[in-house]
Structure formats: structure tokens, C-alpha cells
Amino acid sequence: MIKKINIKGVLLLVLISNFGLLFAQESEAVWRYQTGGRVYSSPAIAGEKVVVGSGDSCLYAFNKADGKVLWKFKTEGAVHSSPAVNDAYVFFSSTDGNLYAVDHNTGSFKWKFSSNGEKAKDIWDYYLSSPKLAKGLVFWGSADNSLYAVEQTTGALKWKFKAEDIIHATPEIDGDTLYIGDFNGNLFALNINDGKLIWSFRTVGDRYFPKGEIQKGVSVDDNSVYFGSRDYNIYAVNKRTGRGVWNLKEGSWVISTPTIHKKMIFYGTSDTHEFVCLDKFSGKKLWKVALPMRVYSSAVVIDDFVYFGCFDGILRGADVNTGEIMYEYQTRGSRENYSKVFGSEGKFKPGFELYGNDYLESERLIHTLGSILSTPAVDKNIIYFGSSDGGVYAAKVITK
């Protein structure tokens, strides 16, 4: 049975089945393109194009209006980084260990810069470091423990910084300072002009995860750097001194890069299956939303709504002030495979163990749901994101 609900001008098609409440919302789809691999990469909007990578080893450029493929570029590994775009080039990395620059308009090869190789720490190490651009340079981290600064036009090395472990986090730049985390639990502040260390901060660690790995990325506002860790903490650190401001111990990893909006910070958790809003000055919880699965992707705020993806294959939009869910869009993989993982009340079905003896098979089944590890991008009331079902999606969002 399909029930129609109209919320703030958005038509939701709610599918009621033997497996519980599922959200189809096909009427709000603009387009969908099927790639040949899981899409963890976050889309970049470049004029009339949407650029995003896939586990099928390709970087794609789509017409953002209709999803037509304008060009694609193939590498020798999965493209699980997110692209950075300037007027001339698109920059991205691959599990083949290379940073690439291709022509913005045609996708033709310009140059590549090779690290000393890529690797994954474990099966939950989904992302690669994504490049950031500033002052004519591309800043990019690698599993060879290095942060590289290379020339945007030539790919020539300007400088590199050696960390203590894998760098799969994405750099964040604020003025002349670059912030980057590593898998040894270090947050480094570097001078972007020469790579010299300004300060470092070490995560607390945990009994089971003593390194306190910083897996994904950081966010910066006027005074603080915010980030999560595998030691179950989310941190605020003074961006000038590297001294702690506050930290909050969650019940699980915090992989999601925090999203800052006014006085609030939004992020998702791993095994506690929550989406959380904090006061950015005190670290006090303002609200949280219970979910069926993990949230690794980062959120995006549009008007008074915060949008975020979940491993259950549903993109949700919540009121920024209350956390009330006002919007849900379900991926094709989730619609087709929901009953493989979840029972009638949205709980794991009997016999499904997330971390049982056959946890690899459990993880494979989860990804058949079209898990959303991609951080959405929004342009003109259309939200773009990738999914583990291989799809790149464009859907309408709530408008005032």
C-alpha cells in the first residue's frame, strides 16, 4: 500500500509493506545514473556539471539537469576520494595511489602525481583523502603517511609533510593554516606555504581503540577546529594554539566530519546509530535522532533543514532546531533489499548479526541497501549524492 503525505510542499510516497515503513518518494527523483561500483565519493558542482567518483575506477561528469554523462576518466583503482574543481581542472585520487588532474570540460588527462602507495586499514576504512585547493596548490593525503602539496598546473611537488600513520582524512584550510588528521590520532596544523608544523594535538584514545584514529576530516570556524575520532570522542580544539576546548565521549566511533551551522554542530555516529546536534561553544547536546544504522557521511544545511545519509540507504532531512525528520528519500538498493537486513519494526531481522562470525557477509548485505556514505551537494533545490548501490542520484529538496 502506498500512502501520500505532503510535508511543506514536498510529496512523500510512503510505502507500507510486510517489512515495515519504507519511503519510496519516486515522484521527487530528478535523475539517477548507475555506475559500476559503490559510490562513496561526494559530488562536486562545477557550473552545469556534477563531478563524482565511483568504485568502478572512473571519475564521472554529468549534466546536472538530466544526468547525461558528459565525460568519464578511468584510473587503475577505485575513486573513493571526492573531486576538487577549479576553472581549468578537476583533481581527485584513486586507490591506485595517484592524484590526478583532468580537464574540467573534456575529462582529458593533464597530469598525475604518484604517492608511495595506497592501502586500507580495515573494511571500515572506506574513504580516500580528497584534495583541497589554495594558492595554486593541491593538498592531498595518502596511506604512505604523507601530506603532499603539489602545483595545480604541473603536478610538481612543492613540499610534503610526514605524519605517523595513514592519512585518509581530507585537509581543511583556514587562511595560511592547513589542518589534517592521521590514523595515529594526531591532528596537525601546518603552514600551507612550506608545510612546517605549527602545532599538533593527540586524541585521548580508548581501551579498544588506543590510537584514536582521525579517519575523515575536520571543520573550522572562527576559533575552533572540530573533528571526530575512532576513540568515540568528538573534539573542539583551539585553532591557534592546539589546546583542547572540549570533548564529548560518544558510545561509538565518530567518522562523520562535523557540519557547522550558526551555533550548532551536526554529525553522525557509527555503532550507536544516531545523528546529533551540539552547541558548538559548550559541546552540550541539543538533540539527537535514533537511526537504524551508522552515519559516516557529513551533513549539509539548506535553509532550516539539515540533510544527511545513512547506511540504511535513506537520505533524511531534519529540522535544524528540533531534529524532527521532515524529509526522507530511499535509494533503489534500499527499496529492493531492505528486508535482507531489517525486520517489520525497522530493527535487524532475527539472525542478522552486525559483528558476528560472518561480519564480512553482514557488511556486504548492508551495502546492498544502497548505503549513503557520500556527502550530499545541493544546487538550486536539487540534492546530489552517491550510494553503495552504484547510483548517483539527483532529487528535489524541501523549499520554503
Which pTM does this prediction carry? 0.92
Is the four-CA dihedral 136, 141, 144, 146 of positive or negative sign?
Answer: positive
Residue 156 has pLDDT above 60, yes or no: yes
Residue 13 has pLDDT above 80, yes or no: no
**Residues linked to residue 117 through DSSP beta bridges, in sequence order:** none
Residue 5 has pLDDT above 60, yes or no: no
State the average pLDDT for the chain: 92
Provide the pLDDT for residue 1. 31
Q: What is the mean pLDDT of residues 330-341?
A: 95
Residue 231 has pLDDT above 60, yes or no: yes
**Residues linked to residue 26 through DSSP beta bridges, in sequence order:** none
Provide the pLDDT for residue 345. 82
Query: By percentage, how much of the chain surpasses pLDDT 70?
Result: 92
Residue 217 has pLDDT above 50, yes or no: yes
- Cβ burial of 297 (10 Å; 0-12, 13-18, 19+) is buried
Provide the pLDDT for residue 266. 98
Hey, what domains does the chain have and what are their CATH numbers? 264-369+381-400 (2.40.10.480)
pLDDT band at residue 17 using 50, 70 and 90 as cut-offs:
very low
Q: How far apart are alpha carbons 32 and 206 in whole angstroms?
A: 41
